[in-house]
């Protein structure tokens, strides 16, 4: 499958998935009931924060993506760092 600049890729449940990466693309991919909240949040988000906010909304378009991310955060908060790659601040190479 050819990827276009209007798509992001990520991994959800060990599967590579494509996400919309434009405001219009994310809005169109959301269920109708979420679009007003999306419009409000994106419309009031400062420019520097837009990529992160848009990415979070894009993840909502993939079944289970938010839940998987929440599970990973819970695991890290509990002190389980298995599978985490730590970068060395001095040379930028993985430890």
Cα three-residue angle 35-62-47, rounded to 5 degrees: 55
Buried b (16+ CB within 10 A) or exposed e, 71-85: eeeeeeeeeeeeeee
In this model, does residue 94 exceed pLDDT 60? no
In the structure encoding, which two tokens stand for residue 89, read together?
Answer: 């601040």
In the structure encoding, which two tokens stand for residue 40, read together?
Answer: 């409000």
Tell me what pLDDT residue 1 has.
42
Give 89 or 71, the one with higher predicted confidence. Answer: 71
pTM higher than the cut 0.85: no
How confident is the model over 77-89, as pLDDT tens digits? 999 998 888 876 5
Q: Which residues contact 11 (CB under 8 A, 6 or more apart)?
A: 17
**Helices 50-59 and 65-77 meet at what angle, rounded to 10?**
110
């Amino acid at each position: 499958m050819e990827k276009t600049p209007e798509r992001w890729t990520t991994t959800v449940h060990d599967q590579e998935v494509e996400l919309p990466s434009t405001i219009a693309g994310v809005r169109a991919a959301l269920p109708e009931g979420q679009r007003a909240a999306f419009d409000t949040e994106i419309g009031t988000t400062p420019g520097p924060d837009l990529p992160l906010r848009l990415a979070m909304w894009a993840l909502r378009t993939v079944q289970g993506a938010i839940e998987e991310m929440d599970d990973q955060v819970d695991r890290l908060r509990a002190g389980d760092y298995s599978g985490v790659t730590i970068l060395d601040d001095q040379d930028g190479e993985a430890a």
